[in-house]
Each structure stands twice: as C-alpha cells, then as structure tokens.
Amino acid sequence: MITIATLCPDDWTRWRDMRLSALREAPEAFCASLSDWEHQGEQRWRDRLADVSVNFIALLDGRDAGMVSAMASDQEVELLSMWVAPFARGKSVGDELVSAVITWSESQQAPRLILRVLDGNHRAVTLYSRHGFEYESPESATNGPPAPERLMAFTQP
C-alpha cells in the first residue's frame, strides 16, 4: 500500500535520509550533488523544508520509498526533486507522488504545473507524460553541466 506524507521542518531527518539516498543513487538526475548536502547540519535541512512550498514522501508498505517537492509562484507550480527508491520502482510510487503534486497545485489554483527533466531520462518522461505533461518546446534548453534539461508543462483543466 502506498501512502503520501506531507513533511514539515520537524521531519528533516526523513527528508535528509531520502535526499542523500537520491543523490547517491542517481547523481546525474539532480542539479545538486552529494557533496553539496552530505555534511549539512540540521538547520540547513530544516530551512530546505521550510523554503519550499510543499514536500512529500511516499511510503510503500510503511517504508519511505520516494520524494517530491513543489514550489508555487503567482502563475505556476514547479515540481522539484522527484526520486523513487530502486526497491519501489515499477510499483506506482512515482505515479502517486506526481498525483500528489497535481492535486496540491490545484489547491493553489495554479493554472500551470511545470518541471524540468534531463534529456535521456526516458523513464521520467514516460511517467510525466502519463499524467498529462508535455514538452514545452521541441528543443532542449541547455541549463549547464552536466546535461541539458527540457521543460515539460501540465495545464490544469
């Protein structure tokens, strides 16, 4: 069974453990690196949770299995830091996390939800496309090393 938990700054250790696991397992998928975060103290982790609009962790059979964040602005919500642990892949955890962000963005009355995905991350593109995200433009927007990212968007019905 998959459940979604909304985190607050007091949940910083859970967030830290998930984020460090993500950066170790899939360093190419994030703009940040393990070395950026592995020696950060409690206050930095608490600040990260407080500074981002919403942070979710998915639990699969009671075990932390994935994470995603979202940041709201006046015109849109951006999905950030999506990751699913290897043991939970292919078990709908990613779908539940994306659905949680879509539902939350609706509550924010944001007409548009965006995300950036690295070129070549076909599993992520397939997941996001399944939920109605489409590429914003056919060209890649180079966002600097290590690889180009592409913008995908979802427009609320």
Instruction: Return the pLDDT at 139.
Output: 53
Residue 146 confidence (pLDDT) above 60? no
Pairing of strands 134-135, 112-118: unpaired
H/E stretch holding 4 reads: strand 2-6
Asked if the model's pLDDT at residue 147 lies above 70, the reply is: no
> What is the predicted pLDDT for the residue at 29?
80
**Amino acid (1-letter code) at residue 36:** D
Domain count, the chain: 1
pLDDT 10s digits, 1-45: 999 999 999 999 999 999 999 999 998 888 888 988 999 999 999
Structural domain of 115? 2-155
Cα–Cα distance between 70 and 93 in angstroms, integer? Answer: 17
Q: Tens of pLDDT along 56-101?
A: 999 999 999 999 999 999 889 999 999 999 999 999 999 999 999 9
Q: What is the CATH number of the domain that holds 134?
A: 3.40.630.30
